[in-house]
Structure 1
Amino acid sequence: MPWKELSVMDEKLMFVADCLRGEEPMTVLCERYGISRETGYVWKRRYEADGVAGLQERSRAPHRHGLATPAALVVRIIEARRRKPYWGPKKLLAILAAEAPSAAWPSASTVADILRREGLSEPRRRRRRALSVEQPFAAVAAANDAWCIDFKGWFRTGDGKRCDPLTVTDAFSRYLLGLRIVAPVTEAVAPVMERLFRDYGLPKVIRSDNGPPFASTGAGGLTRLSARWAKMGIGLERIHPGQPQQNGRHERMHGTLKAEACVRPAATPAEQQSRFDGFRHEFNDERPHEALGQRQPRQFYVPSPRPYSERVDEPCYGSDEAVRRVRSSGEIKWRGSMVFISEALIGETVGIREREDGHWLVRFAEVPVVLVDRTTGKAARFGAGRPPRAKPAHEPQPD
């Protein structure tokens, strides 16, 4: 016959029954049941008052918290929120404290709890942060080691037309490769860059900021434009947001361009482009550059030995990598599930390799794009590769 397990309620009933028989003292009974004398008297008292129901577990929470916000203040907080439905706890407290400075108003976090409890606020949806990728800038020791690309701040010509100057320089020689008025979209920038590749060959890397059409917040920081560059074997370098000094050579050129060709815009975009062409010629062929020993960029620039090809082959992946093509939805099928990669890579192939920790690394060409969790199957996107942040210098210690 199997043993029967006793519940807590069974133990309580047996104790009360023994206690009511009065055959043994309370101290002996409590010791046998492994409880204190105080607990034993509580059980007996509750049974005598409420019967079996009195032995049920009761909440130990206090009936009223000593630090609870007074009801009158809660009402005023709710009324203030309804008057200002888009104001947060700190702003609400500011006006409430001004109205009643002597009241013991709660903290902002308590106000947030009150609003949430009353259904007057919803927690913000947390954005999934991209996995960081440290990628030091490549050394610039020769022409075409790195090209820098950016849009000079837009302005309007005399006829009211918007002017967006696209600028491309060689980081080593400071040679101004391109200066064209181009709409800041992939469809307009792509043919201009293809023309530069055809004329000068391919650089090793292209350095840009984090805005479109060069970079995005998507997987790997890729856009359709930069994905094509990566497929061509061009490395991608992005500066940190708000750190234009990381592209200082290019920004210095922008300062000169603004002062000499943009302060007083031309009457039309065509006239402005003619002015840009003259500036480019002077900048490359006539203007001495202090960083070049007061010589001209043309003396240092030579075309790239890497020729441009109209046909761009598929990226090469290792023998230990599975290859999948990104579908029209931006997804791939992996291990029976659909995994979103990037809309910028629709139609492209990606390589998938298992890391030492068991997670799956998905890359496009040399750019890591997502990491697929081995247990959940969910994908976390990588951010754009950026140089390591400089560590703050240690403060000198006193002797």
Structure 2
Amino acid sequence: MSHRNARLTVHGRRLLVERVRAGRPVAHIAAEMGISRATAHKWVRRWRAEGEAGLHDRSSRPHTTPHRTAAAVEARVCGIRRDRKLGPARIGPILGIPASTVHRILTRHGLNRLAWLDRPSGEPIRRYERERPGELVHVDIKKLGNIPDGGGWRTVGREAGDRNRQATTTERRSHKPVIGYSYVHSAVDDHTRLAYSEILPDERQETATAFWQRAQAFFADHGITVERVLTDNGSCYKSKLFTRTLTAAGIAHKRIRPYRPQTNGKVERFNRTLLDEWAYRQPYASNAERTAALADFLHGYNYHRCHTALGGKPPISRVNNPAGQYT
């Protein structure tokens, strides 16, 4: 790419060629355009040899690099990185090469950040994104411990939290909530990252199926027609009821490979955001208080929260602009 003070851009080079083709001397044209004769002759030669393509900038990368690290050494660096997850400062002494060289090798092979690696296999994570809204919706369930009335140990400390938990547990006969678990059912559109969540009492097939029907209506209200749903291999998602419900709506049901949660990565990442920015954002005095805060979190996530994968815009911006072209 030309620098900001460049005398010749691609347009300027075309003008140079046009004037030369008109029969004018190259030296005169170079003087008019404020460039040297050697530069003018260079672009004329490239145009005669390559045509229009010769007027565009070329890569500054050299054709050969005689002093580049041997391929066998690079392979060993990458192998140690995948197998032992060591950094350049550790790998360098093992192989007898500078840490800076190790870092360049890891960068060249896309292994310089552990966050980009699948921890079990050590292979770079292959990221993908569907081309249009509704083409794929990720669905998952997050299990959370209930909060006793008066607050759990995060709010009031271990001793008082234990007393609150025991007091709530003994109130079974009064039909008040007992300590147990809540299940956050979530659905995230792959392309837009638009999310829908509900806190439900269990993860049975009837509960999961009813949740999906409400989630589908939510996406439909935003103009998104769901084509495919991706889930893990939980029993509720393997049930005939869940599959039949999707099939009746013309939706294909896909399940991830066993022990590969990263395949369902959009909703897994959403679950982590859910914990950081809602469930554990502040100490809650009761389970009802935490439940009530979910609606505000979802509104902020869908309409206001910046998303790096969406060019710093919230999910709703891509719903209104499916092509993903941000201005």
When normalised by structure 1's length, the TM-score is: 0.37
Larger Rg: 1 or 2? Answer: 1
Structure 1 or 2: larger helix share?
A: 2
Structure with a larger share of its residues in strand: 1
